Structure 1
Amino acid sequence: MPTYPPEPWHLAGQMYLSLWSVPSRALPPLPAGLRPLTLAGRALMGGAWVVYENDSVLHYSELLSAVLVRDGRRPRVTITDIWVDSGPSRDGGRELWGIPKEMAEFHMNRDQGFQAAATAGAGVLGRASFRGRLPLPGRLPLSYHVAQTLDGQLKTSPVRCRGTLTIARGDWEVPPGSELMIPARRPLLSLILRDFGLSFGSAPSSAPASRSRT
């Protein structure tokens, strides 16, 4: 029996996100059928630390990198690298959605701002610190699709999220040789998504699910 909950996963917590503009030729490999969404030869890449807590179906920490892509004309997000500290999250991410989760150990401090580090094996994957600058009013809604390769086919999964957004300063450190593939320079933009509620994936239908591109 699976050790993880069925989809959709209902999650809640805090997210610390940075965005970079990178040359498309410098991107990590993408799933077959997806192309980076580019402007003047440059693509948008993100890195995020996430703490899933409160009434989440699973409680864990996460570090990921992702790229804004297109499936034909449809915008998508694809996760290129991701680490978690939960076996059920790793297994569920891989088997339900094709998300290539690996295991890591996290060290986080949220007393003043946010400081985090993640290690895998004997090496440091990355470190970061965030400090909020400008809170935005209201709880903003966000909907998008994540696209990954699952069983040799493209799998798209809906994500619906709502939270309080704060423009922030984010500083990242990625040691040489780290598997975390994000640019070693200051981000274009950093954001904190506070006290978010998120739904990831679709409820299973009574008929066998088709993995068509939605």
Structure 2
Amino acid sequence: MPTYPPEPWHLAGQMLLSLWAVPRKDLPPLPTGVRPLAVAGRALMGAAWVRYEGDSVLRYNEVLCAVLVRDGLRPRVSITDIWVDSPPSMAGGRELWGIPKELAAFDFEPGAGRDGGVRARARTGAGELCAASFRLGGRLPGRWPVTYRVAQELEGRLVTSPVRSRSAVGPARAAWQVPPGSPMRVPADRPPLFSLALSDFRLTFGTRAPAPSGRTV
């Protein structure tokens, strides 16, 4: 099994995110102990392409789907589908946090087309997972902080892991394509509610392990 860094992981890079309002009946299975955070029978589901680069503890590409859920009254995010092109990231995600990472190959075309947008594609040995194209707008002023917790099932129990990030934010327009039979459960048959580019983000995922008794760090 590939080795991976201990938590927390300090990461940096670029993210392209789309969000949909999805009927509860159409959601993927969720961990035991959480429920969709739904309004009028619809829950918020997101899909994102991520490139971890720069001084990230690991450098790799990723595509994922996640659902906004609640643990009691506490809002959480649960990752339902995710692929990466890094065996250490796959092993660490599964063993540290219960994130169901699989392996895939990625193609990115930054600046593709006259609009200066981004095109992305992911595939496995079984075929294409999904593709998307993004047309980017201008950035909003400042760098925007976001803090939340990811809820996953690990060894039969619900675990939550903190995420802290800060990034430049800008609007985007996106079109997603998912071929028939793909295991990627993004609702590509409808346009997203909205899409965002989270540029030059810095992110910390997970918590530092407690020091042994009698020692401080």
TM over 0.5: yes
Kindly report which structure 2 residues correspond to 1:40-189, keeping only aligned pairs within 5 A, or say none.
Answer: 40-111=40-111, 112-183=116-187, 184-189=189-194
Question: C-alpha distance in 1, partners of 2:99/2:11?
Answer: 16
Is 1:203 matched up with 2:217?
A: no
Q: Deviations over 1:143-165 (max 9, x none)?
A: 00000001111110000000000
TM-score between the two structures when normalised by the length of structure 2: 0.93
TM-score between the two structures when normalised by the length of structure 1: 0.95
**Cα deviation, residue 134, structure 1:** 3.8
Q: After the TM superposition, which segments of 4 or more aligned residues of structure 1 sit over 2 Å from their partners?
A: none
Question: C-alpha distance in 2, partners of 1:133/1:7?
Answer: 34
Question: C-alpha distance in 2, partners of 1:29/1:109?
Answer: 32
* Contiguous gaps of at least 5 residues in structure 1: 209-214
* Contiguous gaps of at least 5 residues in structure 2: none
Determine the structure 1 residue equivalent to 2:31: 31
Q: Deviations over 1:171-204 (max 9, x none)?
A: 1001111100011211001000000000000000
Please give the root-mean-square deviation of Cα atoms over the aligned residues, in Å. 1.2
Question: C-alpha distance in 1, partners of 2:2/2:20?
Answer: 36
> How many residue pairs are counted as aligned between the two chains?
208
**Per the alignment, in what secondary structure is the counterpart of residue 56 of structure 1?**
coil
**Cα deviation, residue 116, structure 1:** 0.4
Conserved? CA contact 2:130–2:178, under 8 Å:
yes
**Cα deviation, residue 2, structure 1:** 6.0
**Per the alignment, in what secondary structure is the counterpart of residue 110 of structure 1?**
strand
Q: Deviations over 1:35-61 (max 9, x none)?
A: 000000000000000000001000000
